[in-house]
Structure 1
């Protein structure tokens, strides 16, 4: 079953070259944060370019449940009338976060220092994911979590009645944990400090400053030390959401793999904490250009041009780059399958606890398609077979994971035989226009009426 309905079997085939312009949706990370910080502000925040995937729509519904007025005015155009820091009201019903680990963890942080209770649940994938990494630091503020074994959803979170500031060193490189602690710190008096040994995406820090919070970042021997002064009055903002680099990864990689392709993907956010995939692809020899580089809304942006790259080679991806491309490893592993030589990916244990165990999901599918894969707890190696060397011709499982689903659909555009997918339904959680966008480029990706055996 997909997250929100019956399974949607899909198939992708090698076909004509891809060409044209791919207008990918708004950045999911920034979309979530725009709604949450808008709800914690006093006044009206206006957002354009908001990603309208199910994950973000679930955050909009959650903000309404906590008392904010959230309105859609047209495609990507939304407004949020906030209730202020500490102003969340107690939801009347369970908050169902579907497939969104980012959304549920950020919102837990945002409510953890307000004296209310909320119950969170989600689909089968989200209910299997660990929440202890969030609830443990939130407990330092005085919040109480009561969930299933291992801290899993469904879970009741009781916000702290008298929160105090916290100093917390991240045990894992996780922007979700960092952001949850900072959002909790908004309603705690004094200074909340997060020590980040390894840098992760910094949208929360940038946006908190933009909304008027007092926040500083210092580089030290310990890593990045982020200090937030609590109990500010956040000012509403007008936000233009840049296009999502994680979503752009799929048409970019399709353009590199489909013979004769030339694809333009405009307006992609290239925040250094998010752009590791594109650095890696260029190191592999991809014909990938950054055009019209500029800054929009405080974020670096460029148009990406991806052309068919038949001579890519495997590399060792630096482990310290993992945090800047953690969501892109599934599709990178597909590119690696068509490169010459082996691609080594280390420091990626976070992939084991995403919407699925992404290392295992990709390894199983790649092996079935004829690609040799080695794996360990926090590393994996894909032995590339070169362009034209991957057979395909198998049905793979998405495991309720949107990025696994899209990665294998991209793969089928270059395999000798079609690739089939048991369920493409989860794609809608982050990239609802994936199918028409890829079709507009000429990709042969389609839904099948019934699951088919290869």
Structure 2
């Protein structure tokens, strides 16, 4: 059943807030905990549908996951077991892709599937390099789309040179490397988010990272404590809204500021937004800080090259913000946007065009001329949480007109309290 919502809020945004735990780190905390040699205790875990998919998956592989007050405890099995049923990853591409790397070495037969959206997302770029390590995987539509069938096999290390930087593909290969004979090496054209490397190295795995090149040798990680920082990809919606609305001032508390994830802050500064960090600290190898953004006049900028992997999930809301910046904003090298929960480039381009934006689409990006007041628009979210949240932000740049979202149920995959928090920061205005 669809959950429609009509947005009719007014800015500016003001106040401090904490966003849910980082989704990427939450997935890894559960999965690596299941691979560990001793129990792990996780605080700040994201309580959302995507992470629950990984939770259920590791339980299917023999791990025991339980709550202990505000923490989640992962007790690993002596060895991962063949799942008794199909593993449903829901809408979580991270769950499915990382599990491909793990299950490649688990004896027996495993099947990975997901919802209608996930079953349209390509998997060949994960399957092909895993096969070079001896993995036995197949998928429907000529090995292009889920479900994925995995038969546990004996793996051997290999050197992989990825054509596109992808933390999910890299992580799947590194996880397979934990079970392979010899060394596994992954090289990317530019560094992608490095949560996997930080967490594995911090748990005693023999791992070397040198910029875009990472090498791992076989071995199980140790258990330990993980305190998950706030997710910059979730905070991005409020930070971008504040940057584009005069009189706004918001502070995201305890947010993860891993350098491989802070491209958003670099872009906001380049556009002229006032961005400050305070209370910097580190926990479990991940840096965090309180990040404040104040609204003001913005200028267009260029987003391309090595910057793109550092903000790939934030690009939809940055496209919205670009409509409010004076001059031309150009986004290139972002073809990855076309293989997310939806073709985010095409979807956002169409929606912003209908809302009055001056936008030109390219195969790998777009150009946006601003500033342009936006108009109300009806939005088909296409089961994509970032489309829904980005267009809720776009409504703040209309002259009080409504943006009607046909289904916001997808937001539960990453940020169940998003709309309530947006209401609070807008002073209760809807």
Structure 1 SS opposite 2:39: strand
Q: Does 1:409 align with 2:392?
A: yes
Per the alignment, residue 438 of structure 1 pairs with 422
1:258 Cα deviation after fit: 3.6
- Checking the alignment, whether the CA contact within 8 Å between 2:182 and 2:217 is kept in structure 1 is yes
Unaligned runs of 5+ in 1: 1-5, 447-454
- Checking the alignment, whether the CA contact within 8 Å between 1:12 and 1:445 is kept in structure 2 is no
- Checking the alignment, whether the CA contact within 8 Å between 1:413 and 1:444 is kept in structure 2 is no
Please, which of 296, 309, 321 is the counterpart of residue 335 of structure 1?
321
1:296 Cα deviation after fit: 2.4
Please, which of 401, 404, 429 is the counterpart of residue 420 of structure 1?
404
Per the alignment, residue 152 of structure 1 pairs with 145
- Checking the alignment, whether the CA contact within 8 Å between 1:91 and 1:118 is kept in structure 2 is yes
- Checking the alignment, whether the CA contact within 8 Å between 1:37 and 1:211 is kept in structure 2 is no
1:322 Cα deviation after fit: 0.2
Per the alignment, residue 381 of structure 1 pairs with 367
1:157 Cα deviation after fit: 1.2
How many residue pairs match? The answer is 428
1:445 Cα deviation after fit: 7.5
* Partner Cα distance (1:16, 1:252) in 2: 13
Structure 1 SS opposite 2:328: strand
1:225 Cα deviation after fit: 2.4
1:260-409 equivalences in 2 (<5 Å): 260-309=247-296, 311-385=297-371, 389-409=372-392
Per the alignment, residue 170 of structure 1 pairs with 162
1:93-242 equivalences in 2 (<5 Å): 93-150=85-142, 151-160=144-153, 162-219=154-211, 224-230=212-218, 232-242=219-229
1:244 Cα deviation after fit: 0.6
* Partner Cα distance (2:228, 2:44) in 1: 5
* Partner Cα distance (2:338, 2:227) in 1: 33
Unaligned runs of 5+ in 2: none
* Partner Cα distance (1:119, 1:61) in 2: 14
* Partner Cα distance (1:313, 1:175) in 2: 30
- Checking the alignment, whether the CA contact within 8 Å between 1:11 and 1:445 is kept in structure 2 is no
Q: Does 1:79 align with 2:50?
A: no
- Checking the alignment, whether the CA contact within 8 Å between 1:14 and 1:415 is kept in structure 2 is no
1:267 Cα deviation after fit: 0.9
Length-normalised TM-score, structure 2: 0.96
1:229 Cα deviation after fit: 1.0
1:64 Cα deviation after fit: 0.1
1:444 Cα deviation after fit: 6.0
Per the alignment, residue 28 of structure 1 pairs with 23
Structure 2 SS opposite 1:42: coil
Return the structure number with greater relative CO, CA threshold 8 A, min gap 6: 1
Q: 1:312 to 1:16 in 2, by over 3 A?
A: closer
Per the alignment, residue 43 of structure 2 pairs with 48
Please, which of 17, 36, 46 is the counterpart of residue 12 of structure 2?
17
Per the alignment, residue 249 of structure 1 pairs with 236
Structure 1 SS opposite 2:298: coil
* Partner Cα distance (1:124, 1:179) in 2: 24
- Checking the alignment, whether the CA contact within 8 Å between 2:374 and 2:394 is kept in structure 1 is no
Q: Deviations over 1:147-184 (max 9, x none)?
A: 21042112211121x22112111121111100000000
* Partner Cα distance (2:126, 2:69) in 1: 34
Structure 1 SS opposite 2:382: coil
1:17 Cα deviation after fit: 2.8
Structure 2 SS opposite 1:92: coil
1:431 Cα deviation after fit: 0.8
Q: Deviations over 1:51-86 (max 9, x none)?
A: 0110001100000000000112344x20100125xx
Q: 1:16 to 1:215 in 2, by over 3 A?
A: closer
